[in-house]
Amino acid sequence: MTTTLTTCPYCGVGCGISASTTDNSLDRQDLHIRGDDAHPANLGRLCVKGSALGQTMGTTGRLLQPQINGINCNWPKAINAVAEGLKQTIAQHGPGAVAMYLSGQLLTEDYYVANKLMKGFVGSPHVDTNSRLCMASTVAGHKRAFGADVVPGCYDDIEQARLFVLVGANMAWNHPVLFQRIQRVLQTKPTARLVVIDPRRTASCESAQLHLQLRPGSDVLLFNGLLSFLAEQGKLDHRFISLHTEGFAQALASAQLQAASIAQVAAGTDLPEAQVTKFYRWFADEQLSLTLFSQGVNQAMNGTDKVNAIINCHLATGRIGKAGAGPFSLTGQPNAMGGREVGGLANQLAAHIDYSNPAQQALVGQFWQAPNLAAAPGYKAVELFDAIERGEIKALWVMATNPVVSMPQADKVKAALAKCPLVIVSDIYQHTDTLDCATIKLPALAWSEKDGTVTNSERRISRQRALYSPPAGAKADWQIICEVANALGFTQGFNFSSAAEIFAEHAALSAFGNSAGDDKQKRAFDISGLAQLTAEQYQQLAPVQWPVNSANPFGTARLFSNGRFFTATGKAQFIAVRQCQFVEASAQTPLWLNSGRLRDQWHSMTRTGNVPRLMQHTPEPFVAIHPADAALYGIAAADLVQLRNRYGQLLLRAEISTDQRPGELFVPMHWSAQFASQARADVLFAADTDPLSGQPALKLGQVALRRV
C-alpha cells in the first residue's frame, strides 16, 4: 500500500488528505481516504464531501480522447486544431478576439501557464475565471483597504477568538471543517459566542447564540450602524486609527448619515432593535472577534462596499493583525486564491501586479520576455460572455468549469457559446452542460492524477499530489497549454517538463523587482523563499503560508501585526460606504430569489452527483418557500412549481419551510441539465454586477411563482 499526502479538491478550507492506494488499476476502487493529522487546515478532520472522494473515482464517464466536432482524434491533431483555430482568429480579428475562462479548480501551475500564454504571448487580456463569481468583491475590498489582495489572519485565530460573526456564510455546510473548529471553541470556552448574519436560517444557526435574519442586501447599513455605535460608546482604538489608518472621519461621517441610531438600523435591516443592540454590544465588548464572510457578502451589487463596511469596524477597533481578531474572507473554491496569485483575473497581470502600475507591468513583460504583453485589463466574466454574444470574441478556451450552469442568465451564456466559432473545453468528463457546447474537447487529468499546488483561504500553499499514473489519453492542463503554445510558435517560455519547474518560475516572478528594502514598492505576494526548490524539495513541500521570503522563511501566519499595510502610505484605508437604495420587487416578479450550496454537493455536481451516498442528502432540486407564500400561491409540500422571469424558467419541487423570510425563496445552485432538465438556478439571475469588482449578484433575483 502506498500512502500519499495531498489536498482535498473541493472547498477553500483546503484540508490535507492522507490517501492510500494498493495498485494503479483504472477503476481506482482501492483508494482509502482519511484526514491528514499534520495538515494545519484540518488536523485530521474531513467533511462528508472530502471523505467520500474515494467513491468519485474511476474512469466511467471520463473523457479520455480528444474530440473535434464530436469525432475522436489523436492529441497531435487536437493540438494542431486548437493552435490553427487560435492563429486564424488572431490573424483575422486580432489577439483581442480570443479569450480564456479558467477556474478555481485548476492548480496554480496550470493557471500560471494559461495566463502567461494569453497575456504575455498571444497578447489578449481576456483571461478571467469563475473566481469572479466567488471572491472578486473581497479582492476589490481588500485592495481598497489594505493596498493588496490579502487575507490578514489564519485559521489558528479561530482557537484564539471568543466572538465569531458569520456574515453571508453558511460555514456548517460550506466550510464544515473550519466550522467544527468554531463549534469546539463554543463548547469549551464559556464566554465564546457565535452570531450569524444571514437572511436565511441555515445549519450554522443551530450553533449560534444570535441569528440576525436581516433584509437581503442591508449588510452595509448594519455594519455602518456598528461603526456609529462603537464611536458613540467610546469603543474605538484611537491610537491604532491615528498611527495606522487614513480616512476614518469620512467613513464615520458616512456611516452616521444613514445609521446614527439603533432605530434607524433596525428599520432599514428589518431587525428587532434588541437584536441589533445585542450584536453591537457583544462586538464592542469583545476584542477577540473574528468576522468571517463569504458569498452572501460577495455576490451582490454592493459586494465590495459590504466587505469594506466590515473591515472598517475592525480597523476602528484595531482588531487586525492580532491573534484571534480580524476580518476573514472564506474562499469558496480550493484554489481561488492561487489563481489570483498568478493573475487569473482579467484586471491583473501576474504575481498580484495590476495594469495600473506601468513600472510593475513592465517587470512582468521583462521577466517573461513577453513578445506581446497585454496592455490593459480584459473583460471580466459577465463582460466576457457578453463580448462572445456580440461576436467580438470568436475563440474561447474554457478549463475545468461549467459556465453554462454557473453564470447568471445562464441561457444567454449557452446561446452565446452556440454562436462562438471556436469553443475549446478542457475537462475530465465526457459530458457537462458546457462541454456539450464545445467544438474541441480536450481530456484533462483529474484530482489524484495531477500534480501541483493550491492556496487555501488562509494563504496556505499546499501540494496536490498524484496518487495514480495518468490514464492513457488525458494530459495535465499545463502540458496541454504548453503544447498549444509550442504549436503557436512560442517555444521559448513554454518548455516546462514538470509542475515543479512552473512553480519555480512562478515563485521567481513573485520576487522579481520585489525589493525587500523598498517598502513602498514591496508587493504583498512574495514566495521568493520557494524559488530555488529542487524537484525533490517541491515534491516534499509542506503546507506553508505566504509571504515566504528571507524575512519569513517558514511563512507568515498573520499580516499587519506591525501596523504596516501595502498602500502607498503604508496605512490602511477606511472606505466611506453608504447603504445603496433598496429596490422594490416588481408586480410581475414579486418574489426575491436567493441561491446557495447544499451540504453534500459541489458546484455543478459533475463529481459529487455521481455518488449515491452524497445524493441521498438531497436527491432532487427544490425551491424552499415560506408557509405564508405557499398559502398565498396555493402550494403544498412536494408540489411541482414553476419559477420564471424574463431570463428563463425552472421546474422544481416545493419545500415549505420557515428558513427564509416571507416573500423570499431559496434554490440550490448545483443542478445542471445533465442531472435535471429544468433546474439550473442561475438561469434566473440577472447579469447585474458590482461596479467595482464585476462580481454578479447571485443572491438576489426576482421571480414569479406558480404551481404547475
**What are the residues binding ligand SF4 (CB under 6 A)?**
8, 10-11, 13-15, 42, 46-47, 49-50, 176-177
Report the residue number, 7 or 409, with the smaller CB distance to ligand SF4: 7
Number of Cβ within 10 Å of residue 646's Cβ equals 12
Q: Closest separation between CB of residue 49 and ligand SF4, Å?
A: 4
Task: Tally DSSP H helices, then E strands, for the chain.
Answer: 24, 26
Q: Closest separation between CB of residue 11 and ligand SF4, Å?
A: 3
Residue for grid cell 492556496: 455
Report the residue number, 95 or 176, with the smaller CB distance to ligand SF4: 176
Q: How far apart are CA 404 and CA 671, in angstroms?
A: 11
Say if CB 537 and CB 548 are below 8 A apart: no
Q: Closest separation between CB of residue 319 and ligand SF4, Å?
A: 26
Say if CB 451 and CB 464 are below 8 A apart: yes
The burial class, CB within 10 Å (0-12 / 13-18 / 19+), for 3 is: exposed
Q: Closest separation between CB of residue 37 and ligand SF4, Å?
A: 14
- Report the residue closest to ligand SF4, judged by CB: 50
Q: Closest separation between CB of residue 463 and ligand SF4, Å?
A: 14
**In this structure, what C-alpha cell is assigned to residue 516?**
525587500
Q: Closest separation between CB of residue 295 and ligand SF4, Å?
A: 15
Residues 6+ positions from 27 with CB-CB distance below 8 Å? 57, 58, 59
Q: Closest separation between CB of residue 223 and ligand SF4, Å?
A: 27
Report the residue number, 39 or 661, with the smaller CB distance to ligand SF4: 39
| Three-state secondary-structure class, residue 705 | strand
Residues 6+ positions from 416 with CB-CB distance below 8 Å? 385, 386, 388, 389
Report the residue number, 457 or 589, with the smaller CB distance to ligand SF4: 457
Report the residue number, 56 or 228, with the smaller CB distance to ligand SF4: 56
Report the residue number, 14 or 609, with the smaller CB distance to ligand SF4: 14
Report the residue number, 321 or 339, with the smaller CB distance to ligand SF4: 339
| Three-state secondary-structure class, residue 489 | coil
Report the residue number, 51 or 256, with the smaller CB distance to ligand SF4: 51
Report the residue number, 330 or 480, with the smaller CB distance to ligand SF4: 330
Number of Cβ within 10 Å of residue 521's Cβ equals 13
Number of Cβ within 10 Å of residue 188's Cβ equals 9
Pure H helices in 554-647 = 612-615, 627-633
Q: How far apart are CA 674 and CA 652, in angstroms?
A: 15
Q: Closest separation between CB of residue 174 and ligand SF4, Å?
A: 8
Q: Closest separation between CB of residue 137 and ligand SF4, Å?
A: 21
Q: How far apart are CA 191 and CA 279, in angstroms?
A: 14
What are the phi and psi torsion angles at 702 (to 5°)? -125, 130
Q: Closest separation between CB of residue 15 and ligand SF4, Å?
A: 3
Residues 6+ positions from 247 with CB-CB distance below 8 Å? 573, 574, 575, 576
Length of the chain: 708
Q: Closest separation between CB of residue 132 and ligand SF4, Å?
A: 21
Report the residue number, 155 or 666, with the smaller CB distance to ligand SF4: 155
Report the residue number, 11 or 185, with the smaller CB distance to ligand SF4: 11
DSSP codes joined into one string, 315-384:
HHTT-SSBTTBEEEE--SSTTHHHHHHTT-STTB-STT-BTT-HHHHHHHHHHHT-SS---S----HHHH
Say if CB 556 and CB 525 are below 8 A apart: no
Report the residue number, 10 or 592, with the smaller CB distance to ligand SF4: 10
| Three-state secondary-structure class, residue 637 | coil
DSSP class of residue 674 equals T
